[in-house]
Structure 1
């Protein structure tokens, strides 16, 4: 009984550590795409449920799927910007078509993705993550003001709630360490929502209207549609997520003292691809490993997959409770915007951190970063730049993240992978003069 209580408590701790990350992605995407409160409630519910299913797929270990380590999966922040861009351009059904197809591609290439990793060194993945973070910042700033089209956009109340939420997050991050720090975003959002409630800015109608229980529904938002540009975008995002996940796999293997083989890695990649396919069918999102839970495992010293199993089952249970999901949908947009500044800024920070070592290594890497980030951000700001090119080419140029990512990949091949000339022109001229 005592051991069961301890295991449950540790499972709840893992749940709390990843919960903010699990709910924030559907809230950001749903609000950006203008979903109704009912649709947003479903989106949060299915995302929580799919986090549980994705986690169970990963902690199991059979001949087909599962890394077999105590890893928790949640929706990747890397996908937020691309999903919003796809939804805005092609509609919500294209989002799920691209998620399903990118998941199938990952399942297909999982066996030899290890060989493709060489095309995604830190200079490439860091550039991609930086581009994604930078393109997300305008979303955060818009929400700080109250959201696109809000009648009170930029009002003193909205600005105060946004910066108040951000201030609380920063204070918690400054004054605490460990678990409390890991949930600083969640605590900041709770604080901001309570203050907004006292100001009469919170509408509880979605909670009262939500059912106590519901069943999940495949293709809730309609039959998926497939756009090549969207599929390519999500596949690139999925590959970047796999590179990040590989680091988490090896970190956990070190903590758990378990050596990973190529087959183990392939099964881990396959589990993430399969989770994305299932997520796309039930209108959730792509999933990746959550590094904050790795920190908890290291802090607690408890490395049992049983704890993560409990967390996964809790997530699945919560996914069938719409009222729990509806509570998250009452968060005011300005409060969410304040939290987004910290979260999206951390995405940019993570990208810069990934790049810091590579830029100092060579001027070539500096040029790769300069051009890829410049092209990625430029196309995002001026999307009509390549509007006169053939549609087949616009697949690669119409999205800033795709354009920037491909620029980084091509330049990395050019500068770092093709054999360099042994003799430069100056050396040749000197020899000719001699």
Structure 2
């Protein structure tokens, strides 16, 4: 059945809202930490939103060279925030973009070889990784429901009421809504409770009034890039982490869309991410990777049409070019976004469990792989200072529950399952030779 333009725009805007808060928070955190001026910060936010749109379209557009061709939205990876701040404060902001440029080229070149790791991603690994992604992101949603970490009114009754009211509206629409109304439950919940929030003084239009009407991206806005070894190696590690996370997202979306992900698909997906990272360096924005919350949204809405993601990408580009329009989405109270994110991250968990349903649970090896991997991912998320003694260069791996849990799943599968397969294969070959 042909969907009307209005419905397509609504579904596209829903995807924008799902990722917008994360996309805006990254430049706010990085810009404030390295001492950018208001004008520089305004540019950084606008160009980040603009590049999210470009990166998303690059990934959705499947061609012979690049593009995973799945309904995926890209944004700046949160894994890069800490390293970028460290690089910016130690070496200067231009060193951040020198490292990003080299890293983008690195990802572009290794995509062909990294994609050959597909044999290391059976259902026990992909399902575990997707489950870990959802579990480790839930605390982010809960903090937002409380008002956001560091907020003066953290945990107030009003914040909790707004956050859980958003979740309640989403659940009601999802349960009793039909067709299109059900598919935009997330968008409807955000809009309805934001309107209610305005009566409690929770909606501030100041940023909308202060934002400019038009803005053009510039090459090397902050100056010519500088290249230093430590920042480059650090950002390469961030990129590898991003590829591991992206692999889990690709398999989850492939499962949702009933498309088998093959080595050539992974190769195109990694190349698209490499191209997005290079463009981020050229325009002085950020390294980009897949956003997990939009996977949950695809599952919740039931809409897998890539046209919707193209619309979302174009919307992000326009929002980046017209900051005043983009600022409208920033008036949504943090607790409202938290309530919506809880639903989306929860769906990521449930889909990871669904992927695990194809695993042979009679095999004790699989149970151990899941147990230790999920335990590591959740443990590091709950106790991030556990590996405080690890050198800062490798902190990006040790401090991320998603990364550490994912790597644990890959390594344990290699030790328990692939090794067993090789032993069985060797025994079979020996028997055949004997006969």
Query: Hey, what's the Cα distance between the residues in 2 that align with 1:280 and 1:240?
Result: 21
Deviation string, structure 1 residues 161-202 (Cα, Å, up to 9, x no partner)? 111111111111112244433332222111121111111221
Confirm or deny: 8 A CA contact 1:51 1:73 kept in the other structure. Answer: no
Counterpart position of 1:16: 13
Instruction: Mark the CA change 1:13 to 1:341 in structure 2 (over 3 Å): closer, same or farther.
Output: closer
Deviation at 1:367, TM superposition (A): 0.4
Deviations 1:102-133 (A, max 9, x none): 64343212334442111222322332332232
TM-score, normalization by structure 2: 0.75
Alignment of 1:4-153 (within 5 A): 12=9, 15-27=12-24, 29=26, 45-58=46-59, 64-66=65-67, 72-75=71-74, 79-80=77-78, 82-83=79-80, 103-153=104-154
Q: TM-score, normalised by structure 1?
A: 0.75
Q: CA separation in 2, counterparts of 1:83 and 1:104?
A: 17
Q: Is the 8 A contact 2:103 2:235 kept in 1?
A: no
CA distance in 1, matches of 2:261, 2:60: 14
In 2, Cα distance between equivalents of 1:319 and 1:392: 32
1:58–1:268: 8 Å Cα contact kept in structure 2? yes
Structure 2 unaligned spans of 5+:
426-435
CA distances 1:29-79 after superposition (whole Å, capped 9, x unpaired) = 567779699888766644442343234434656664346x5x5541269x4
Distance in 1 of aligned mates of 2:147 and 2:261: 47
1:236 is aligned to 241
Residue of structure 2 equivalent to 1:342: 343
Shift of 1:283: 2.1
> Structure 1's 230 and 209: CA in aligned 2 closer, same or farther, altered over 3 A?
same
Q: Structure 1 residues 383, 54: CA separation in 2 closer, same or farther (over 3 Å shift)?
A: closer
Separation (CA, whole Å) in 1 of partners of 2:413 and 2:366: 8
Change (3 A) 1:30 1:63: closer
Would the aligned equivalents of 2:381 and 2:400 in 1 still touch at CA under 8 Å? Answer: yes
Q: Which residue is 2:285 aligned to?
A: 283
**CA shift in 2, pair 1:367/1:144, >3 Å:** same
Q: Structure 1: which 5+ runs fail to align?
A: 424-434
Q: 3-state DSSP class of the match of 2:73?
A: strand
> Would you say how many aligned residue pairs link Structure 1 and Structure 2?
408
**Partners of 2:210 and 2:379 in 1: how far apart?**
43
SS of equivalent residue, structure 1 residue 226? helix
What RMSD in Å do the two structures reach over aligned CA positions? Answer: 4.3
Decide whether the 8 Å contact of 1:242 with 1:288 is kept in 2.
no
